[in-house]
Amino acid sequence: MKELKIIAIPLLLTVLVVSCKKDYLETRPSDAVTQQEIFGTTEKISSTLDAAYKTFFAFSPGGSGNHDDYGQKSWDLSNDLMGTDMIVHTAGYGWYNASYQYTEWQVPTANRQSDMAWFYYYNIIKQANTILKTIDAATGTQYDKEKFKGEALGMRAYAYYFLINYYQQTYKGNENKPGIIIQLDPSDFEGKTRGTVQNVYDQIIADLTQAETLLNGKTRIDKVHIDISVVRGLRARVALLMEDWPTAAAKANLARQGYSFMTNAQYTSRSAFSSINNPEWMWGSYIPSDQSTIYASFFSHIDVTNFGYAALGSQKKITKALYDQIPVGDIRKSVFQEPGTGDATSPDYNQLKFQVQTPGNWAADYVYMRSAEMYLIEAEALARQSQDGSARTVLEAMVKQRNAAYSAAAFSGAALINEILVQRRIELWGEGFSLIDLKRLKLGLNRPTGPDNHGSPNFDPSVYILAVADPKFLMRIPQKELDSNPALTPADQNP
């Protein structure tokens, strides 16, 4: 494999990501400078972390140069388009249409999504590994060392979480199937085989457990950085997927402490889902206009109020099937174009949830975790343990913020679990959870059809039904990784 160089200079990040594209798991340090020069102090390691966080919203961190390659939100949007609740209005310029039609992830060639995701997440892992290997020898306070180590561990676990969910089916029932390559040392570049799904989850849990200990009592400077609440939120996500209900409920409850809900006025403001200052946001990227990626950005692809790809025809809409389940009086119904009021720019059911803060200005932040999600995880995990009363209390605490008249009193047992899942789909629409939820719940794909749902006169998704664990739910291992890694053979490719 060729060499991938990690340079801890934030201003060079975007150039670096593109110029070293597709070096994959090769991790030998640059010959130009020594590790001691780059990582010798905690101050320098702090700059390295800042650079790693910028990877989450940089242009082309997957190394493709494409306009669907802009960090974490590019994958979040793909996840939702592969679910049941998001519609592509018209073909537009074609970005994401292949994801919507379930043909994109089966292509292992360069600059396609399976190739881009592999490079993007392993680049984050690579940066985290470099920090973890060098920080103990760096000069600086023990407080800073523990804090930065905890952040790096959280970042690595986050990347492994998405990799394992993209390149294999869900955890439960697939524990012994091949997962992804586990790499913990930046100097280990000889190539490794795919670890099992269980191996990968064991590593994720180990990283998050250590991170929670290290970050306990540590204060972060802003929501861009991972803190103990984010680590607990990630642990709750992992436990939910593993069906470890007690851990999911406990960690979600701890994670949401200290966060307040949006008011209705805040929820319907332009900045509700584009400003890191939102009181519900636990973790996100702050993106001023001079660091935005303009047309190659989440808001370009989803916000019709700014001149981007969404405004040019590829509007993203909620299905009528889900919209009709939001009652009148629920504030969440107002962030979609009301039927009968649409026009050519914003058709009926078009999303209005995600908008840049100021029309004509690309300054818009990315959200990766909100406290509302933690309420939903906790409620589901409690209901799965037949703790219906507690589950209803937690669910109502969140939903009543959106609809004061809401009551969960009529729900119990399986009906309560289903209600929580419906509320999850409504609350988290467009935030990147659809595909992983379909996989973890073993629902397969069953897209609603008919007027204002999937299909004509909207862009045709082609695929409406998929069985549970269909191979189309999996990304292919990039061909370049198979070709350059001597530990892998063609038999290691996903079906």
Q: Indicate the Cα dihedral angle 481, 485, 488, 493, nearest 10°.
A: 10
**For range 39-49, the mean pLDDT:** 93
User: pLDDT tens for residues 251-288?
Assistant: 999 999 999 999 999 999 999 999 999 999 999 999 99
Whether the predicted pLDDT of 491 surpasses 70: yes
Q: What is the pLDDT of residue 39?
A: 81
Terminal-residue alpha carbon distance, the chain: 25
Whether the predicted pLDDT of 5 surpasses 80: no
Residues 6+ apart with CB under 8 A from 269: none
Global pTM value: 0.94
What share of the chain has pLDDT > 70, as a percent?
Answer: 92
Longest dimension (CA), the chain: 66
Q: How many residues does the chain have?
A: 495
Q: What is the pLDDT of residue 7?
A: 30
Q: Which of 31-40, 47-56, 178-187, 431-440 has the lowest mean pLDDT?
A: 31-40
Q: What is the pLDDT of residue 382?
A: 99
DSSP-assigned letters across all residues of 405-461: T---TT--HHHHHHHHHHHHHHHTTTSS-HHHHHHHTT--EE--BSTTSBSTTS---
Residue 478 to residue 493: CA distance in whole angstroms: 9
CATH architecture of 1-218+444-486: Alpha Horseshoe (1.25)
Q: Which of 30-39, 148-157, 191-200 has the lowest mean pLDDT?
A: 30-39
CA torsion sign, 471 to 473 to 474 to 476?
positive
Per the prediction, the chain carries an average pLDDT of 93
Count of H-run helices and E-run strands, the chain: 18, 6
Are 39 and 131 a contacting pair, CB within 8 Å? Answer: yes
**For range 130-140, the mean pLDDT:** 95
**For range 174-179, the mean pLDDT:** 98
User: pLDDT tens for residues 78-105?
Assistant: 999 999 999 999 999 999 999 999 999 9
User: pLDDT tens for residues 23-39?
Assistant: 555 544 334 455 656 78
Residue 118 to residue 159: CA distance in whole angstroms: 10
Q: 39-52: b or e for each residue (b if 16 or more CB lie within 10 Å)?
A: bbebebbbbbbebb
> How confident is residue 62, by pLDDT bands cut at 50, 70 and 90?
very high
The residue to which tokens 């140069």 are assigned: 65
Q: What is the pLDDT of residue 24?
A: 52
Residue 47 to residue 328: CA distance in whole angstroms: 48
